């Protein structure tokens, strides 16, 4: 038998949602079967899937040990790297400048050295996160960027902050600006482009279309040309929609692939240039918050930027 006392990061959840996060090895069909069989109890009574957990509730699980992670398995993040560029931090969140080449979450390669694992390791060392005292919550990233894109990633340290920030991101109440280098000079110098994107998950690649297509999703990309020299331009980009590889694929479709991007650009164009990754950086994040932000009101109107964008026109010899 395992028991859990509901803490501040657990309360307010449905029981079935809490169990899915706390015991991820337990299949959903068995979860609901054990609820019916009264092998899952809340405050000594039969647990109901839709029950909303309150602070201090006692959840007891009379299920086999095989569904619980082995001791120490959940702390694999302690083997992650130590390098972390923190742009801002308070008791609720932190903003980190992710370097190009570092994946944000564990991917198919199973790498332990990820951005979120570095953050968890840092928070444990700082005494701000104690896995043994948490039942269902782990500090989590609120946004993600590609492995080979650099820039700002936002992490919530507690459940209320994660809930508010996820809602704000869904409602597009945070503005994320990107800087990138592209081949060519987009015309006009400021544009808002609309197209349709379809993802091929097997290839981890997307395709852009001018007209709607089956399984396609609308994309809107706004850009400004900041500087141009000898056929290479520095752009600022605002995503009105946030789709996989949107900037890379959409700009390539418009005839302006990113410098260093061989997935959507050409190898010949990049030959001889000192770029191991696409020249793309999520350089600025602004908390616009046109609606109430609960305990995060103090962030309203604040804007954060990376200390240095890791590429320039000069890197192209221009």
Active site residues: 146
Asked if residue 186 lies in contact with residue 225, where contact means CB atoms within 8 angstroms, the answer is yes
Residues ≥6 apart with Cβ < 8 Å to 65: none
Asked if residue 209 lies in contact with residue 198, where contact means CB atoms within 8 angstroms, the answer is yes
DSSP letter string, 240-259: SS--TTHHHHHHHHTT-PBT
Beta-ladder partners of 97: 152
Q: Which two tokens stand for residue 201?
A: 């998950």
Largest Cα–Cα separation, the chain = 73
Exposed (0-12), middle (13-18) or buried (19+): which is 66, by Cβ within 10 Å?
Answer: exposed
| Cα 166 from Cα 98, distance rounded (Å) | 20
Half-sphere exposure of 259 (CA within 13 A, CB side): 26
Asked if residue 46 lies in contact with residue 58, where contact means CB atoms within 8 angstroms, the answer is no
Strand pairing class (150-156; 93-98): antiparallel
Secondary structure element (H or E) that encloses residue 18, with its range: helix 15-22
Secondary structure element (H or E) that encloses residue 234, with its range: strand 232-239
Q: Is 75 helix (H, G, I), strand (E, B) or coil?
A: helix
| Cα 312 from Cα 30, distance rounded (Å) | 55
């Amino acid at each position: 038998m395992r028991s859990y006392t509901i803490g501040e990061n657990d309360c307010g959840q449905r029981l079935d949602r809490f169990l899915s996060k706390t015991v991820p090895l337990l299949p959903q069909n068995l979860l609901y079967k054990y609820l019916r069989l009264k092998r899952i109890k809340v405050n000594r009574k039969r647990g109901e899937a839709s029950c909303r957990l309150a602070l201090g509730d006692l959840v007891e699980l009379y299920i086999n040990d095989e569904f619980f992670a082995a001791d120490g398995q959940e702390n694999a993040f302690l083997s992650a790297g130590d390098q972390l560029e923190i742009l801002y931090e308070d008791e609720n969140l932190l903003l980190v400048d992710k370097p190009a080449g570092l994946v944000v979450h564990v991917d198919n390669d199973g790498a332990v050295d990820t951005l979120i694992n570095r953050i968890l390791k840092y928070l444990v060392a700082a005494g701000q996160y104690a896995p043994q005292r948490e039942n269902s919550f782990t500090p989590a990233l609120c946004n993600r960027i590609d492995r080979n894109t650099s820039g700002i990633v936002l992490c919530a340290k507690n459940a209320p902050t994660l809930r508010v920030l996820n809602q704000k991101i869904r409602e597009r109440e945070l503005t994320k600006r990107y800087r990138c280098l592209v081949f060519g000079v987009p015309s006009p110098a400021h544009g808002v482009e609309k197209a349709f994107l379809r993802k091929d998950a097997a290839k981890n690649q997307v395709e852009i279309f001018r007209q709607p297509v089956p399984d396609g999703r609308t994309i809107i990309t706004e850009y400004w040309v900041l500087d141009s020299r000898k056929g290479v331009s520095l752009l600022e980009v605002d995503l009105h929609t946030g789709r996989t590889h949107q900037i890379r694929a959409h700009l390539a479709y418009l005839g302006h692939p990113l410098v260093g991007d061989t997935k959507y650009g050409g190898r010949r164009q990049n030959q001889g240039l000192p770029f191991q990754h696409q020249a793309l950086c999520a350089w600025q994040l602004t908390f616009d918050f046109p609606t109430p932000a609960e305990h995060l009101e103090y962030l309203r109107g604040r804007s954060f930027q990376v200390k240095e964008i890791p590429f320039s026109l000069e890197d192209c010899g221009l």
